[in-house]
Structure 1
Amino acid sequence: MAKITPFKAVRPSADKVALVTCRTYDDYSSAELAAWLSFNPYSFLHVIHPAYAHAQKITLDKRFKGVLHKYQDFKEEEVLINEEQPVFYIYEIQSKGHVFTGIIAGASIDDYQKGHIKKHEDTLQYRVELFKDYLHQTGFNTEPVLITYPESVAINTFIGLQKKHDPIYSFATPNKEKHTLWKIDTQSEIDWLQEHFENIPNLYIADGHHRSASAELLFEQDKHLGNKNLNYFMSFLIAESNVKIYEFNRIIRDLNGLSKDDFITKLSDNFIIKPKDQELWKPQNKFEFGMYLDGSFYALFYKQSQKATSVLENLDAQILYDTVLHPLLGIEDLRNDERIDYIPGKQSVSVIKDLVDEGEYEVGFMLYPTNMSEIKTIADKNLIMPPKSTYIEPKFRSGLVVYEL
């Protein structure tokens, strides 16, 4: 069963919501970040990155205290306001042909610890501890964990009825997205939603493995304080059919001492190779890979006889690692090796071509996206996907809804 809870959120005043909310901090280049901070005094970027110009010169402790102070300033100035009672929200994002709709709620730490909220990615302990310290010192989180639930006609109908009401927010953003938020605050509707989620045996983390792990670590550290908000972490719950899964493509700086001809010869042990010349070729099916090398594209078809029976070994990202990245290019640590970088699949293949043509990288590989069935099977078997296997949308806007701890 899945236990979800409403919470007393902090959110922007209606007249400033379009100015306050922002993309996640990592989405901005240095130039963009400086421009937004200079141009928009209401941006939540001022909260999550105070003293931007001096950020590299101060300790993490001072930076976290600066975040808290700026957050308190926003509340005192009523840029951010407190919800009067615990509520759920329906949140919809319309973005370039996709419409994502889900429920903002608190997800249970107990469910996470018991394995009812399943994960498919590994975490880096230093990142988990860093974000745990951030949560402990600032006392709030505005980046929910993206969690999927099985398709439900009843929940879809409930959401559809809620969307007939007037929203509390409806605004557009500079990246041409439309964001709409509805509040669920009547007790009967809150009870109905909780009861229906209790009938769902398992939920699956799509994005936010580090955030959920940090929330658990904070709970274990501070549970003796009796703060019930620590029993949950903010989540954006969305039907598994409503997420968009992209691949992460790979670009590598060198051929590990191999010549182009030797490298292609070694590739032929595991792949049927078809030149595509200047065609911006992307894989059309599982077990297909694109490659850009020395000014030309290639289609790589994994040989049928090589396929394994394990779901993990049959993941395209794992196949590329097992047959190319590790044995041929000498890359062992996909997270930390400086010779490899990653490009989200939502970006054009031409981005990879340009990066290789500029000379900083020697070769690029394009993958076919993983599907939700593979993700769930990996999670159900308590297996871990290779790093950077998926880039999943939707992405939540920082500062839209704040969960206080």
Structure 2
Amino acid sequence: MAKILPFKAVRPTRDKVGLVASRSYQSYSKAELKARLEYNPFSFLHVVNPGYKYNKNIRGKERFILVKNRYLEFKEATIFIQDKTPCYYIYKIVNRDGNTFSGIIAAASTEDYKNDVIKKHEDTIEYRENIFKDYLKTVGFNAEPVLLTYPDNDVIKYAISEVQKYRAEYEFTTHLRDTHYLWPVDDIQLIEKIKQAFYTIDTIYIADGHHRSASSNLLSEELKLENKQHTGKEAYNFFMSYLIPESELKIHEFNRLVKDLNGLTKKAFLIQLDAVFRIEKRGTELYQPTKKHHFSMYIDGHFYSLFLRKTYHQFHTALDALDTQILHKTVLGPILGITDVRNNTRISYSHGKNDLVNIKSKVDSGEFTVGFGLVPITIDELKAIADNHLTMPPKSTFIEPKLRSGVTIYEF
């Protein structure tokens, strides 16, 4: 039974939201980041990159304090205002490919996270959890929702569609041609319907934001110990999330690129692959795999199809049957010598609508020797991994939608 609650968001005024909203700052190139900071004084990037004001690269606790200061300056300048009553926030994104995502921004419970009502499918790194926990504790807010997905629910679907009949409070389009809409929901009866509908849902899954969820949980535990009057209703017992139905989640593949053949010749490499896969040469035309346990490979100017041999179709767990795990266990580790797929510098990952072109280009340039294409992981595979308390290999999924920072902010 999921506890998904409304909250009083801090958010930009309607006239400035398109200027404030930003992608995650790690996704900008140095040149792009510099341009945004130089020419857009309202960008949320000024809050999370406070060193720009002093022309200085600032890290650690000093940066966290300055982030809080910049945030307070935005509030004092009324770039940000806070809603007076708790709301749910219906949020819709229509991306440049014509995909539509409609969900609800709300506060999810850290207790649900601890009790496995909110389930994860990825491992987190402890030091990253603690860094972000310390960041949250210092700045006192979170500006980027965790992406959660839930089984399609008729009551929630109806509520979202009814709200969207009215004019959106926000409507803005990014330079990537994605259009964003937001409707605050402050009607008490509708809020109660949405709250009760989520309460009937037994399990919700993290789609994107595992470290943010884990860090919020750590913060909750720490502040709980520090607060002698702890009741469980404090804002720190929740974290901001964007919840969308499973049917609208888009999962894309993460492909693999490897810099060398681990000392093998191309012929020796193909011979070792032949023990595990049925190999067919496909020529110079782009070749995309079409079903599970089927991979494409690009090497030395040609594409190949790799079909996992039937003798290897002996899967004991949901993880064993995952294509990213199969590639790791049959090729990357035993043949190419890449056992630590998270930290080994010989491997890289890529995704995108035209990613095979990118793979071909990088191999042809000599930057990499071989590239592997995969089919996307399904929502059922993701859920099976989470339900069985397993974790996927790194970079197994690229999930949409990708949200903008600074549109709704959760204070604790």
TM-score normalised per structure 1? 0.98
**Counterpart amino acid of residue 177 in structure 1:** D
2:83 matched to 1:77? no
Aligned to 1:189: 190
2:65 matched to 1:65? yes
Distance 1:222 1:272 in 2: 56
Identity %: 49
Distance 1:49 1:347 in 2: 32
Q: 1:111-149 deviations in whole A, cap 9, x for unaligned?
A: 111111011110011111111111011111111111111
Structure 1, unaligned runs of 5 or more: none
Aligned to 1:119: 120
Distance 2:354 2:208 in 1: 19
Distance 2:344 2:55 in 1: 26
Distance 2:395 2:241 in 1: 21
Shift of 1:100: 0.5
**Counterpart amino acid of residue 267 in structure 2:** D
TM superposition outliers: structure 1 runs of 4+ over 6 Å: 53-56
2:342 matched to 1:335? yes
Contact 2:155 2:194 in 1 (8 A): no
Aligned to 2:176: 175
Distance 1:341 1:78 in 2: 43
TM-score normalised per structure 2? 0.96
Aligned to 1:29: 29
**Counterpart amino acid of residue 23 in structure 1:** R
Distance 1:54 1:70 in 2: 12
Shift of 1:345: 4.0
Distance 1:51 1:57 in 2: 5
Distance 2:352 2:276 in 1: 24
2:308 matched to 1:302? yes
**Residue among 231, 235, 240 paired with 1:229:** 235
Counterpart mapping for 1:6-405 below 5 A:
6-52=6-52, 57-95=57-95, 96-223=97-224, 224-225=226-227, 226=230, 228-309=234-315, 310-405=317-412
**Counterpart amino acid of residue 278 in structure 2:** I
With over 3 angstroms needed to count, the CA separation of the structure-2 counterparts of 1:55 and 1:242, relative to structure 1, is farther
Shift of 1:349: 1.0
- SS of corresponding position for 1:148: strand
**Counterpart amino acid of residue 248 in structure 1:** F
Structure 2, unaligned runs of 5 or more: none
Distance 1:103 1:73 in 2: 28
Contact 1:55 1:63 in 2 (8 A): no
Distance 1:268 1:206 in 2: 35
Contact 2:104 2:244 in 1 (8 A): yes
- SS of corresponding position for 1:127: helix
With over 3 angstroms needed to count, the CA separation of the structure-2 counterparts of 1:82 and 1:379, relative to structure 1, is same
Contact 2:51 2:58 in 1 (8 A): no
Shift of 1:52: 3.7
Contact 1:249 1:345 in 2 (8 A): no
Contact 2:51 2:57 in 1 (8 A): no
Shift of 1:308: 2.1
Distance 2:360 2:45 in 1: 33
